[in-house]
Amino acid sequence: MDRAVECAAGLFLKRRIADVRMTDVAEAAGVGVATLYRRFSTKTRLALAAGTFLWRRFNERIVALVESDAFLGMSGADRLERMLRLYAEGYVENAGFVLFIDDLDGLLVTEGAPLDAVVAYGREVDSFYLIFADAYQLGLQDGSVAREVDFPVFYRSVAHALMGVAQKLARGEVIPSDDFSAGAQELECIVDMAVRALR
């Protein structure tokens, strides 16, 4: 069924979740529709599995960073900044992924989903939280972070701000003052504010 999840993810990136039928996924994956329903039972569960797959793929760049010798040689504050910048860059480079996450969030709000499916998805979304928290603690120890904060609140605030602005940029301009010609700089500004809040 990994093939079905991968095919679903590809289709969801091209079209809205609502516009993709289970039959489309079954056909693309080369499996029967009944097989797809037996495995996932609903399109929402399939969308969550696709979301988990896409987050894992998106996070590969972060894995490469945190496993590097260069990262391990950084101060805590520099580690935080580098990871935040990498997320911001990734959101700009992967607008389709960002739009899919926005679409999935909307689906989960309107349709709901079984807790087990949401928990598995949430684990992948938050898979680097501990590395961020460790970087913050290292920064307090090495002096590169000068300000103590409620880190879980800080982390969620910055993560939600980055994703929210990235989703706005990916959806496109709505009113004339939106002007996203320098959209990536808006994400950089959030990272700058976050880093300065700690130094």
93-149 pLDDT, tens digit each: 999 999 999 999 999 999 888 888 899 899 999 999 999 999 999 999 999 999 999
Written as one string, the DSSP assignment of 14-57 is: HS-GGG--HHHHHHHHT--HHHHHHHHSSHHHHHHHHHHHHHHH
Average of per-residue pLDDT across 26-51? 95
At which residue do the structure tokens 């989703």 appear?
Answer: 167
Is the distance from CB of 144 to CB of 199 less than 8 angstroms? Answer: yes
Which band of pLDDT confidence, cut at 50, 70 and 90, is reported for residue 51? very high
Is the distance from CB of 42 to CB of 16 less than 8 angstroms? Answer: no
| pLDDT at residue 1, rounded to an integer | 57
Is the pLDDT reported for residue 27 higher than 90?
A: yes
| pLDDT at residue 83, rounded to an integer | 97
Is the pLDDT reported for residue 21 higher than 80?
A: yes
State which fold the 2-198 domain adopts.
Answer: Tetracycline Repressor; domain 2 (1.10.357)
Average of per-residue pLDDT across 174-180? 78
Is the distance from CB of 151 to CB of 133 less than 8 angstroms? Answer: yes
| pLDDT at residue 54, rounded to an integer | 97
Which band of pLDDT confidence, cut at 50, 70 and 90, is reported for residue 181? confident
Q: Supply the pTM of this predicted model.
A: 0.90
pLDDT tens digits for 66-104? 999 999 999 999 999 999 999 999 999 999 999 999 999
Which band of pLDDT confidence, cut at 50, 70 and 90, is reported for residue 4? very high
Q: Which two tokens stand for residue 5?
A: 């999840």
